[in-house]
Amino acid sequence: MPVVERVGAKRRRGAAKAPAPTRAPWAGASRVRGLAYHLPPAQVRSDFVEEALLLEERFGVRRGTLERTTGVKTRHLADADARPSDLAHAAALKALAAADVDPADLDVVVYAAVYRDYAEPATAHVLQARLGARGAFVFDVSNACLSMVNGILLVDSLIATGRCRLGLVCGGELASEVLRATHDALPGLDRAGLAALYPALTCGDAGAAVVLEPQGQGRGPRRGFVAFEFASHGEHADLCVLEALQGQPMRTDGRGLLEVGARMAGVALERVLERSGWTKDDVDLVIPHQISVPATTRIFGELGLPLEKCHLVIDRFGNTAATTVPVALAHAAETGRLRPGMKVVLAGLGSGVSVGFASLVW
């Protein structure tokens, strides 16, 4: 018998039977210990955006159309010299303070956003240095508007394996870069060209941060993530494309993205509810990614989750890309709508197209 076969035979004879898994691979292992968001001070109304882009003069778009068609009244925009890490850092400081966690005690720092400081190094290294998280392993996650929800899943998985006790997921979105690029791209376009750029006009800037720890820490009832469901369909990658983070407008097939996203969301919702042992009636609050108020109304109406259960912030903050879900979750907690014991569904969507749903008991 050849040496390789003899070694293989020995391993097969002596191999112990693999233990049965004690935890479903989709089950949550973490809970939120700290949560925060940060907004730049400058608040910009939609009618100002219309005026700045000369939408009426160039395309005959009457004043007030942007707010009426998207539901976005205002958004916050950072200064032109701001960096994504500035927004993420501000949110991280708040989240760590809320969690009563010293940055030096963090095991993992994940920076998760569309926008980042550099192509290299990872922006997580910038955050590590600024926070003083000397003992943490750090890396970036980028998956369009689903980035932070993906980051939460990754840190939850590290907690489940015992490789992490305390993890920080944070991101900073400078979607104002898209607005500047859209401004530069409008001259010479017709109304059809405007349609592909129109969704970018809802964008706003924000930072968000989440501190995660293992479930069962401290006293009281068990709280935390119950189940996750993620799915990706790359054949739809051309529905929303941003070719570069600076100087390029974002081009979107809004109708196509909405149709694909709604279909994928329906499957993801059914799976995450089944894994959680919940029905739609059990869900107290939905924290959705928010492209516009009409789009959110349509998607979740078709899913059988009324808009009244959705916590919307897009009307005042705009579409803040990957930070949208944690910003809305933090805002719900801040305003008292999110209360201990509530059953919550996080519903993320990212171009590509990917969806990420998570259930948790707050």
pLDDT at 5: 39
30-213 and 220-361 share one CATH topology?
Answer: yes
Spatial distance between the Cα atoms of 276 and 155, rounded to a whole number of angstroms: 20
CB 156 within 8 A of CB 24: no
Spatial distance between the Cα atoms of 360 and 326, rounded to a whole number of angstroms: 13
Q: Where are the alpha helices (DSSP H) in the chain?
A: 3-14, 46-52, 55-59, 65-70, 84-99, 123-131, 147-160, 176-185, 191-197, 254-276, 293-302, 314-317, 324-334
Phi-psi map region of 219: left, alpha, beta (phi>0 left; psi -120 to 50 alpha) = beta
Q: Tokens 């898994």 belong to which residue?
A: 21
pLDDT at 250: 95
CB 151 within 8 A of CB 112: yes
Spatial distance between the Cα atoms of 280 and 287, rounded to a whole number of angstroms: 14
What superfamily would CATH give domain 30-213? Answer: Thiolase/Chalcone synthase (3.40.47.10)
CB 166 within 8 A of CB 106: yes
What does 37-106 look like in DSSP terms, one character per residue? EE--S-EEEHHHHHHHTTHHHHH---TTHHHHHH---EEE---TT--HHHHHHHHHHHHHHHHT--GGG-
Nearest to residue 83, comparing CAs of 121, 123, 111, 120?
Answer: 123
Phi-psi map region of 321: left, alpha, beta (phi>0 left; psi -120 to 50 alpha) = left
CB 359 within 8 A of CB 345: yes
Phi-psi map region of 359: left, alpha, beta (phi>0 left; psi -120 to 50 alpha) = beta
Q: Which residues contact 324 (CB under 8 A, 6 or more apart)?
A: 145, 206, 289, 290, 313, 314
Q: What is the pLDDT along the chain (362 residues), one digit of tens a residue?
A: 443 333 344 434 444 454 445 568 899 999 999 999 999 999 999 999 999 999 999 999 999 999 999 999 999 999 999 999 999 999 999 999 999 999 999 999 999 999 999 999 999 999 999 999 999 999 999 999 999 999 999 999 999 999 999 999 999 999 899 999 999 999 989 999 999 999 999 999 999 999 999 998 655 557 999 999 999 999 999 999 999 999 999 999 999 999 999 999 999 999 999 999 999 999 999 999 999 999 999 898 889 998 899 999 999 999 999 999 999 999 999 999 999 999 999 999 999 999 999 999 99
Q: Is the dihedral of CA 11, 16, 17, 18 positive or negative?
A: negative
Count the neighbouring beta carbons within 10 Å of the beta carbon of residue 300.
22
Give the tokens for residue 225: 């993530």
Pairing of strands 343-350, 285-288: parallel
CB 350 within 8 A of CB 144: yes
Burial of 11 (0-12, 13-18, 19+ CB in 10 A): exposed
Fold of 220-361: Peroxisomal Thiolase; Chain A, domain 1 (3.40.47)
Spatial distance between the Cα atoms of 244 and 261, rounded to a whole number of angstroms: 23
Spatial distance between the Cα atoms of 287 and 35, rounded to a whole number of angstroms: 14
Q: Tokens 């069962």 belong to which residue?
A: 216
Domain residue ranges in the chain: 30-213, 220-361
pLDDT at 103: 98
Spatial distance between the Cα atoms of 179 and 333, rounded to a whole number of angstroms: 30
Phi-psi map region of 132: left, alpha, beta (phi>0 left; psi -120 to 50 alpha) = left
